[in-house]
Structure 1
Amino acid sequence: MWQNLVRRIFNLDKKNTNVKTEFIAGFTTFMTMAYVLAVVPSLLSKTGMPKEPLFTSVALMCMFSTFLMGVYANLPFALAPGIGLCAFFTYTVVLGMGYSWQTALTAVFLEGIIFIFLTVTNLRTAIAKAIPENLKKAVSVGIGLFIAFIGLQNAHIVVKNPNVLVQLGDLTQAEAILGLIGIILTGVLLFFRIKGALLLGILITAALGIPLGITRLDGFQLISFPSSLSSVFFKFDFSQFFSGNFLIIVLTFLSIDLFDTIGTLIGVSTKAKLEERFGEGISFKRGLLVDAIGTTLGAMFGVSTVTAYIESASGVAEGGRTGLTSVFTAFFFLLALFFSSLFLSIPLCAITPALVLVGLFMLTTIKEIDFEDLTEGLPAFLTIMFMPLTFSIVNGIIIGVLSYVGLKLLSGRIKEVPFPTLLIALFFIAKLWVGF
């Protein structure tokens, strides 16, 4: 009886799938992206946010957003706080620009509200055209290098140097050795297409850290109850609302979230042969709306921008074709709530393999950038280079946009620059000149 009801709700017969296939697909998707439960709380906790409530918030938002994607949009996509956006939240907005994590959460909340408005009114297309295609791809590559750089620093493989900025760390130290071993082991797991390779890489690396005294199991419990969210729930600070930097932060969150989500939805749907439902179809709109709602609620619960994950392709590869895949993935995130002690005991150097490999995945987009045309290639290169070198995603975007408009203008090709891009460039010039 219940199977017939499920088949009708999710149109399983029409999509030539069944409950068993969707279950396997959902579990596969969970395994390939469960590493976020270790990575995201570790990254965000560097802002001063308490780690235990963060884990609960991350797991809850993964569960809720993914479940909503399944039952409302009927699509096999899982959502979670984006790693690149977490890095932007932590290292650029809070540690780099000096804002409190409460102010950063406020920016995420407002970005989510704007995203909802753009999706409901169909204005998101205009925003999507504001950044040229090559710069969008360059932003993805730059964030990938930025994330990998953070991972290498966490394991002290790369360290600060007052004379040359950075240098190779002491590779005889336990954390550096563990980080390098983890990168190699995770690479091997990925090579052999082991399901959940990133998660397994983190867990194996953490386990190897136990005899080295890096992974500490003080107070470890396999099963544990979720922590209270009172310390992170609805902690907003609107005092910086009218500053120019705050507006840039909101727009950066919005643009990265928008492009990531659209790219993931279209890319994975093509793999699942669902592309005929996208473009401006109802499923596409609902998928974007779920992402926007997840981001807005996530900020209320204390986490950075929620976005669709490309790891959803792993479940699609196992035959997932409907929202039932997402429902099963959400169920496993619910179970993960009771294993917080396991994920929170993982040291930063054990997360290094995931950050480096995610950086590698994001770097592959560089193949699609047009470097032959210098008016396209040079701004893209500058965008990529400035993100890790200045330790700021915003700086990379500012330099990329300004150099793009400048090159097009001086080469007599200003007509190729979208009008929204010109407005953004003027805003950046005013911000740099006036310093508001």
Structure 2
Amino acid sequence: MTANTGFLERTFKLSERKTDPKTEFLAGLTTFMTMSYILAVNPNMLAEAGMDRGGVFTGTILASIIAMLIMGFFANLPFALSAGMGLNAFFTYTVVLTMGHPWSYALTAVFLEGIIFIILSFFKVREKIFFAIPTSLKNAVSVGIGLFITLIGLTSSGLIVANDATFLSLGELTSRTSVVAIFSLILMAILTAKNVKGALLYGIIAGTVLALILGVTSLPQGTVFSLPPSISEVAFKLHWDNIFTLDMFSVMFTFLFVDLFDTVGTLTGVATKANLIEEDGNLPGVGRALLADAIGTVSGALLGTSTVTTFVESASGVAEGGRTGLTALSCAFFFFISLFLFPLFSIIPAQATSAALIMVGLFMITPITNIDLEDFTESVPAFLTMVTMPFAYSIAEGISVGMITYVVMKLCTGKHKEVSPIMYVLAIIFAIRYLRPILPF
């Protein structure tokens, strides 16, 4: 064993988790490839709020790297983090364009949310919430996330499209974009069936080559190397006027709520797939993982980007064998490289990465076999959790519905002792949120 291998073994416990540096590196690269779309989407979306596109690009990468360094070294878990989808849409389209606040106001709300998360993490409130979720719901969350990201993959690839009559229908399967997606998906499936390590990554690369041939994507003009854009236009631009208002509370609470339960849901589902959940339902290092998420959010707000959260696309790296923090560090390395080579990374078409998400959806649904379908107090909440995520297009809503149903089912069947106090509190909070329009207060 070399000195470097010995250091990696001691730091990341590779043997204990039955992995090796090469597998972890490939897992990190695969995770990066499936989530790299955020480096194009987030700057464009926040630019609509008036922010400098180049500054947001750099700020997003730097905040992601900070969060993943903490996730890798401190939590030793294979989860990647970056600016969360959905949260960036709320940032731009609700807080700025609908409510009329400046983007600096939205950044301040993100910053305050992150500070609150750090405080909650130190008092282990978020960790206690994680531990309080019953095992059946944790398994259901994994399945639900699998269905959710499958839907994302199918729609973003164009294989499934919106339809006024039936809501969804098959897209034009003979189009060039669909051909790229189908080719990538079939290749990934064949390589996976042959137990080829890096199957998803190879499928993405091959799909990109085909996309270049078909003209779906094109090589960047000029050099592929460029210095990172300056963050001076977006960094440290917090807005401290009128923060003690109901508007700020509403905005901050929404960021807080969605981030908390998207993160808990993603950690639960991906960790379950990675076999990192212990027999008692706990995830070792979950408190540190949640702290990495919170620090990433604070760093992102200061550097000029929206809420940083744990990415569900981490499942693609887990599917490739990623089991330790070395996966997160490998992903952070590719984020760093992308600072200088983004023109080259931008040629990867959505159809190629979408195919990887569809395959990951398959990998994520396997925990359904661990749910006791004969015990309807367990299976009904689990089922509603699974189907709500894709149909409501929200991990957070799936968790909410599942928790409420779980408590109601246990109470009404005389099994109330199986419900933890935290579950009761969460179910009441979620119920009030849904019933708020008809409540007198």
Query: Please, what TM-score do these two structures have when normalized by structure 2?
Result: 0.75
Relative to 1, partners in 2 of residues 1:212 and 1:358: Cα closer, same or farther, differing over 3 Å?
same
Aligned to 1:158: 160
Relative to 1, partners in 2 of residues 1:162 and 1:299: Cα closer, same or farther, differing over 3 Å?
same
Q: Quote the offset at 1:377 in angstroms.
A: 0.9
Aligned mate of 1:189, from 180, 191, 203:
191
Relative to 1, partners in 2 of residues 1:384 and 1:354: Cα closer, same or farther, differing over 3 Å?
same
CA contact (8 A) 2:69 2:329 kept: yes
Aligned AA (1:135): L
CA contact (8 A) 2:126 2:290 kept: no
CA contact (8 A) 1:47 1:94 kept: no
CA contact (8 A) 1:115 1:292 kept: yes
Aligned AA (1:257): T
1:305 corresponds to 2:308 = yes
CA contact (8 A) 1:141 1:366 kept: yes
Q: Quote the offset at 1:52 in angstroms.
A: 5.4
Gaps of 5+ in 1: none
CA contact (8 A) 1:72 1:286 kept: yes
Aligned to 1:247: 253
Aligned AA (1:307): T
> How far, CA to CA, are the matches of 2:12 and 2:368 in structure 1?
37
Give CA-to-partner distance per residue, 1:77-134, whole Å, 9 cap, x none.
Answer: 454226xx8344357x469x94559587666645543442233223344222443332
Question: 1:233-382 alignment to 2 at 5 Å?
Answer: 233=235, 240-243=247-250, 247=253, 249-258=255-264, 260-261=266-267, 286=288, 288-301=290-303, 302-307=305-310, 309=314, 330-382=332-384
**Which stretch shows the higher mean deviation, 285-294 or 231-240?**
231-240
What is the RMSD computed on CA atoms of the aligned residues?
Answer: 4.2
> How far, CA to CA, are the matches of 1:13 and 1:167 in structure 2?
48
Aligned AA (1:33): T
| Count of matched residue positions in the alignment of Structure 1 and Structure 2 | 414
The residue matched to 2:365 in structure 1 has which SS?
Answer: helix
Aligned AA (2:356): A
CA contact (8 A) 2:389 2:396 kept: yes
Relative to 1, partners in 2 of residues 1:110 and 1:387: Cα closer, same or farther, differing over 3 Å?
farther
Aligned to 2:37: 39
The residue matched to 1:179 in structure 2 has which SS?
Answer: helix
Give CA-to-partner distance per residue, 1:263-285, whole Å, 9 cap, x none.
Answer: 767986969xxx9xxx898x775
Q: Quote the offset at 1:14 in angstroms.
A: 12
**Which stretch shows the higher mean deviation, 305-314 or 203-212?**
305-314
> How far, CA to CA, are the matches of 2:41 and 2:291 in structure 1?
26
Q: Quote the offset at 1:381 in angstroms.
A: 1.1
> How far, CA to CA, are the matches of 2:86 and 2:57 in structure 1?
19
CA contact (8 A) 1:216 1:345 kept: yes
**Which stretch shows the higher mean deviation, 145-154 or 248-257?**
248-257
The residue matched to 1:160 in structure 2 has which SS?
Answer: strand
Q: Quote the offset at 1:163 in angstroms.
A: 1.7
Q: Quote the offset at 1:255 in angstroms.
A: 3.2
Aligned AA (1:80): A
Q: Quote the offset at 1:242 in angstroms.
A: 2.5
> How far, CA to CA, are the matches of 2:307 and 2:153 in structure 1?
19
Aligned to 1:426: 428
Aligned to 1:118: 120
Give CA-to-partner distance per residue, 1:140-190, whole Å, 9 cap, x none.
Answer: 322221222122112221111112111111212221222111111222333
Relative to 1, partners in 2 of residues 1:265 and 1:426: Cα closer, same or farther, differing over 3 Å?
closer
CA contact (8 A) 1:214 1:347 kept: yes
Relative to 1, partners in 2 of residues 1:431 and 1:221: Cα closer, same or farther, differing over 3 Å?
same
Q: Quote the offset at 1:35 in angstroms.
A: 0.9
Aligned AA (2:261): S
Identity fraction in percent: 34
The residue matched to 2:214 in structure 1 has which SS?
Answer: coil
CA contact (8 A) 2:142 2:272 kept: no
Give CA-to-partner distance per residue, 1:289-311, whole Å, 9 cap, x none.
Answer: 33432343234442543438466
Aligned mate of 2:148, from 122, 146, 160:
146
Relative to 1, partners in 2 of residues 1:130 and 1:30: Cα closer, same or farther, differing over 3 Å?
closer
Aligned to 2:100: none
CA contact (8 A) 1:295 1:306 kept: yes
Give CA-to-partner distance per residue, 1:6-63, whole Å, 9 cap, x none.
Answer: 799778599799xxx9864663343232214523335545745477555544543443
> How far, CA to CA, are the matches of 2:359 and 2:273 in structure 1?
20
Question: 1:45-84 alignment to 2 at 5 Å?
Answer: 47-49=45-47, 53=55, 55-69=57-71, 72=74, 75=76, 77-81=77-81
CA contact (8 A) 1:131 1:421 kept: yes
Relative to 1, partners in 2 of residues 1:87 and 1:189: Cα closer, same or farther, differing over 3 Å?
farther
> How far, CA to CA, are the matches of 2:413 and 2:80 in structure 1?
42
Give CA-to-partner distance per residue, 1:314-340, whole Å, 9 cap, x none.
Answer: 8987xx98x778666644543343221
Query: Please, what TM-score do these two structures have when normalized by structure 1?
Result: 0.76
> How far, CA to CA, are the matches of 1:14 and 1:180 in structure 2?
37
CA contact (8 A) 2:95 2:106 kept: yes
